[in-house]
Amino acid sequence: MTLLLQVENVTSGYDNIPVIHDVSITVDSDEIVTIIGPNGSGKSTLLKTIFGLMHPINGSIRLNSTDITNLDTFKISKAGVGYVPQVENIFPNLMVTENLEMGAFNRKNVNKKDLLTEVSDIFPILQDRKNEKAGNLSGGERQMLAIARAMVSQPYLLLLDEPTASLAPNLVSEIIGKLEEVRKKDGTSILLVEQNALKSLKVSDRGYVLVTGEKVFEGDAKNILENRDIGKLYLGIKK
């Protein structure tokens, strides 16, 4: 594995009021990393800062050794970062195929007909729904489309913010399982914030714990799952 993303001593927030403080994380190539922590701990803020939706107050962010700290979002996207926000992550009035076309806007000379083929092996339901408006899809189908839309930009790194939020338990397992397929198919690294921490850590290589905007723990996903204190505080494990 080689170092793909390096977030170093980043402080970021809104109107120069810090939400995350001096946070450092890394993501290697071909790796899945989960960020867990209580609500309001700055997890989403960290993803938004990496993607350029917020600019850090201090610190630096590098992708493939290139400084992307203060780049605009569209430049970060072109550099190879995909982002799926928790809400408003599809274009509901556009068809499934049109959503995929929007995801591939950075690619040159792409055959629009090929986009659905690129993702249909992982998300076959999208082939069946290709001519439907995205707003008519079920919650799970919308999340699959949102991830597929980000995938067709061919990112090195995919940022996912709560991809299973509000989904039924069976769909949670399905979506989490799809992330392993995404990594295996294209070697795409994934950094995700996930409320279903137990499930996401089981498919992750490493994890970080954020609390009140500060990194309080990091390690192999297996070690986090086996840590009794973390399990009681953040994973809902009672023993």
Q: Could you give the number of structural domains in the chain?
A: 1
Asked whether residue 151 is domain-assigned, the answer is: no
Asked whether residue 177 is domain-assigned, the answer is: yes
Asked whether residue 32 is domain-assigned, the answer is: yes
Question: Taking a C-beta distance cutoff of 8 angstroms, is the pair 187, 111 a contact?
Answer: no
Asked whether residue 137 is domain-assigned, the answer is: no
The CATH number covering residue 65 comes to 3.40.50.300
CB atoms within 10 A of CB 98: 16
Asked whether residue 193 is domain-assigned, the answer is: yes
Per-residue pLDDT of the chain (239 residues; tens, 9 = 90+): 799 999 999 999 998 899 999 999 999 999 999 999 988 999 999 999 999 999 999 999 999 999 999 999 999 999 999 999 998 999 999 999 999 999 998 888 888 788 999 999 999 999 999 999 999 999 999 999 999 999 999 999 999 999 998 888 888 999 999 999 999 888 999 999 998 888 999 999 999 999 999 999 999 999 999 888 888 777 766 65
Asked whether residue 28 is domain-assigned, the answer is: yes
Structural domain range at position 74: 3-89+157-234
Q: What is the pTM of this model?
A: 0.94
Asked whether residue 119 is domain-assigned, the answer is: no
Asked whether residue 180 is domain-assigned, the answer is: yes
